[in-house]
Every structure is written in structure tokens, then in C-alpha cells.
């Protein structure tokens, strides 16, 4: 069908070629209109200005948004060191796009203002709406993004999205929208629809070791767990996978690399866990997290088996598709860079599992530094989780 979503990818080394190629494949010979949306996720290896300029030219009149990625994927392939694109013909949808930069100065205000502008550009409220956000994953406590968005959406409009990522160097990420390339930015897309849109979220991780109490924290920095320096308590729970050789290299690269595959789980009142990935470690042996952690929270080190992670990915997609009242046209998916290591050689199977959950329709997504998924309540920032938006 001409209204189905289209996906494309490119492994070209030239950023201009990659930008044009992935978008043209996604469009598939159709002629985009100004009401349509193209979403692109390039590898951090590309020059962002050259890549996004080429992607915008290839998209014609359609609006183009995107951000840098650790790696991207479609239902057909996983692209490491390339780019993926998703073409969303508007049909009966309306997209409102807004961008802002320097968001680390005030994440709450940046998210609130961009969400309000995006809603206005989409034509205001509709019978069914979703707010999608792409942000700089290194800009600070991403829960503030959720709070700012919630000030506009209230409890009735779901939030989805992800934080831009790169090769775990923790130096810079890129965002793109409204013709602008940003490195400390936020892109908001308000989607209006006459019919329900679907949002699914699941992670598949399980706790190991024993529960630890956050005995001292400051915002997104955990200073102590069970009265011990947070780094020492965390590594103590990791067990035998921390070899002497690994310990010697821990401080030679971003600590987040050592934490891949073993995020922390924040115990919830329902008996589950919200997963939190480690952004870094400080000389005082505290842990820097991607989001706020409160004093007296209970946390455990998490581990993931490929089978459980894949089942969760399929479940997130199936839950999203199950909320629709018509067959899915396709989906936009946000997975996490922290899932890549435990999945190992099964990484390509995650996209296949998501595709199966969406009923075999086209999809594209990327591995983020954090995922947004708020369906009820005011919380909704996740790590190491799969978030699926079904349209």
C-alpha cells in the first residue's frame, strides 16, 4: 500500500551517499509530501552536517528528523556503522515538529517548550496523540525531559522516544530537525491521529546478587550503596565476570563500557524493576547514572539472557500493535546500546522478534542511551529497554 511505512538502510562510507541512499530506499519510489515525515538514524561515524543535508534533499518536501546512533536496525537488517531511515506517509496523521538546543541548561523547560510548539504545529489536540522525543543522551538527568513533556501532555498523551547515542565514548551526540544539526539538542514530534496509536515497553532483565539500598545520592549520582562507595558495591555484586585484567582497564575507557550488560535495576512498588544504565564513574568512586536516583531506593545489579531479552522485545511490539484498531502500517522502535553486549551474536534476532510482534510490517529504530515510554503516570525514562510505537 502507498500509505505503508517504508524503511531503508545504507552501509556507504561516504556520509552524503549514506544519507541519500537510506532515505531513497525508505521512500521506495513514492513522492513525499510536506505532510509526511522521514526519520533517520546515522552512525556517529558520519559527518552529521553532510549526512543530514543529503537525507533532507532525498526526502523532498517531507519533514526530516533524526539523531546519531550506536547502531541502527530495520526488520530486514542490523546496521553497525551505517544508517537507517523510516518513511512515514502522513495519510490521516498530522506531524508537528519542534527543536531546541542547549538543553543541558534546563532540560525541563526545553522539553516543555518544544512539546508545546510541536503540539501547536500538529494542529492542537486530536482524538489520539503521541509525543515523540529525541534528545542528547549526555545532556543530564533525562527524567527532567519526561517531566517537561508531561507538563504539556498531561496523563492522556503517551510519550515515546530515545536519547541520541554514539560509540560509548561519552563525548558528543547529534540531533537533527527543522533543518538544524545540534549537539546538545532536543527534537519533539507531536503525532495526531483519528485512531489509536500503540505504545509497548518491555526489557527482559532479571536481578542478580542481593538488594542494595541507596544510602547517599545526589540527583543522578549514586555516592553510596549499602554505605559503601557505589563503584565498589556495584563491582562486588558483579561477581566472577570482573576479572583482574578487566579491573586494570576499567579506568582507561568510559566506565559505561564496563557496565554494559549489567545495568542497575530500580525496584518498583509492583515488584518489577526499572532499568538504569551507568553513564560513568567519578574519582570519588560514585556512579553517574542517566537519570535521577533517590536516597533509600532499592537497587540490584541486573543481567540479561538472550532468550529473555528477545521475548521482551517481541512482547513490546505485540503490545503496541495490539492497541491499534486497524492492521499496523509499521513501527518505530527504540532499543538500547546496553542490550547489545548480552545479546551478542543474537543482536540481529531482536529486530526480527520486534518485526514478528508488529505482524511483519516495516520498522526501523536504533540503539539509544535511554528510552522514553510513558503511557500512564508522570514517570517514563528507561534504560536497556525496548520501546515500540505502532502506527
* Predicted local distance difference test score (pLDDT) of residue 140: 86
* Predicted local distance difference test score (pLDDT) of residue 319: 96
Q: How far apart are CA 167 and CA 171, in angstroms?
A: 9
Sheet containing 94-100: give its strands across: 94-100, 186-193, 128-136, 159-164, 371-374, 381-382
Beta-carbon contacts of 355 under 8 Å, excluding residues fewer than 6 positions away, are 75, 317, 361, 363
* Predicted local distance difference test score (pLDDT) of residue 376: 66
Asked if 27 and 4 touch (Cβ cutoff 8 Å), the reply is no
* Predicted local distance difference test score (pLDDT) of residue 331: 96
Asked if 188 and 99 touch (Cβ cutoff 8 Å), the reply is yes
Beta-carbon contacts of 77 under 8 Å, excluding residues fewer than 6 positions away, are 9, 348, 351
Instruction: Enter the DSSP assignment of 19.
Output: H
Beta-carbon contacts of 63 under 8 Å, excluding residues fewer than 6 positions away, are 34, 36, 37, 38, 95, 97, 177, 178
The 10 Å Cβ neighbour count of residue 283 is 7
Q: Dihedrals φ, ψ of 169, to 5°? A: -90, -15
Radius of gyration of the chain measured on its C-alpha atoms: 20
Burial 58-97 (b: 16+ CB within 10 A, else e): bbbebbbbbbbbbbbbbbbbbbbebbbbbbbbbeebbbbb
Beta-carbon contacts of 269 under 8 Å, excluding residues fewer than 6 positions away, are none
* Predicted local distance difference test score (pLDDT) of residue 243: 60
Residues of the chain with pLDDT under 50: none
User: Residue 143 is placed in which grid cell?
Assistant: 527524567
* Predicted local distance difference test score (pLDDT) of residue 219: 86
Amino acid at each position: 500500500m502507498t500509505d505503508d511505512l517504508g524503511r531503508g538502510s545504507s552501509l556507504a562510507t561516504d556520509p552524503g551517499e549514506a544519507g541519500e541512499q537510506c532515505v531513497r530506499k525508505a521512500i521506495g519510489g513514492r513522492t513525499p509530501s510536506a505532510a509526511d515525515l522521514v526519520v533517520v538514524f546515522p552512525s556517529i561515524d558520519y559527518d552529521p552536517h553532510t549526512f543530514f543535508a543529503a537525507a533532507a534533499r532525498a526526502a523532498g518536501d517531507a519533514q526530516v528528523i533524526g539523531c546519531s546512533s550506536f547502531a541502527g536496525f530495520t526488520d530486514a537488517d542490523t546496521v553497525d556503522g551505517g544508517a537507517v531511515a523510516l518513511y512515514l506517509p502522513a495519510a490521516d496523521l498530522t506531524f508537528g515538529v519542534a527543536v531546541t538546543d542547549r538543553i543541558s541548561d534546563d532540560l525541563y523547560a526545553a522539553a516543555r517548550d518544544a512539546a508545546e510548539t510541536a503540539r501547536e504545529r500538529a494542529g492542537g489536540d486530536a482524538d489520539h496523540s503521541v509525543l515523540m522525543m529525541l534528545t542528547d543522551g549526555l545532556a543530564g538527568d533525562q527524567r527532567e525531559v519526561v517531566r517537561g513533556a508531561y507538563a504539556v501532555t498531561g496523563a492522556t498523551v503517551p510519550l515515546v522516544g530515545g536519547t541520541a547515542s554514539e560509540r560509548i565514548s561519552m563525548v558528543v551526540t547529534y540531533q537533527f530537525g527543522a533543518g538544524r544539526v545540534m549537539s546538545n539538542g532536543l527534537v519533539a514530534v507531536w503525532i495526531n491521529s483519528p485512531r489509536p496509536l500503540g505504545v509497548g515497553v518491555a526489557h527482559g532483565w532479571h536481578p542478580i546478587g542481593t538488594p542494595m539500598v541507596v544510602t547517599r545520592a545526589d540527583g543522578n549520582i549514586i555516592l553510596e550503596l549499602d554505605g559503601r562507595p557505589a563503584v565498589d558495591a556495584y563491582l562486588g555484586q558483579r561477581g566472577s565476570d570482573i576479572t583482574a585484567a578487566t579491573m586494570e582497564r576499567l579506568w582507561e575507557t568510559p566506565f559505561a563500557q564496563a557496565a554494559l550488560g549489567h545495568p542497575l535495576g530500580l525496584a518498583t512498588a509492583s515488584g518489577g524493576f526499572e532499568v538504569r544504565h551507568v553513564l560513568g564513574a567519578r574519582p570519588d568512586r560514585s556512579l553517574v547514572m542517566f537519570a535521577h536516583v533517590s536516597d533509600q531506593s532499592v537497587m540490584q545489579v541486573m543481567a540479561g539472557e538472550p532468550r529473555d531479552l528477545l521475548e521482551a522485545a517481541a512482547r513490546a511490539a505485540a503490545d503496541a500493535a495490539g492497541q491499534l484498531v486497524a492492521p499496523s502500517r509499521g513501527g518505530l522502535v527504540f532499543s538500547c546500546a546496553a542490550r547489545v553486549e548480552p545479546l551478542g551474536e543474537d543482536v540481529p534476532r531482536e529486530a526480527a522478534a520486534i518485526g514478528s510482534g508488529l505482524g511483519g510490517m516495516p520498522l526501523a529504530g536504533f540503539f539509544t542511551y535511554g528510552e522514553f515510554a510513558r503511557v500512564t503516570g508522570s514517570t517514563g525514562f528507561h534504560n536497556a529497554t525496548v520501546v515500540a510505537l505502532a502506527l
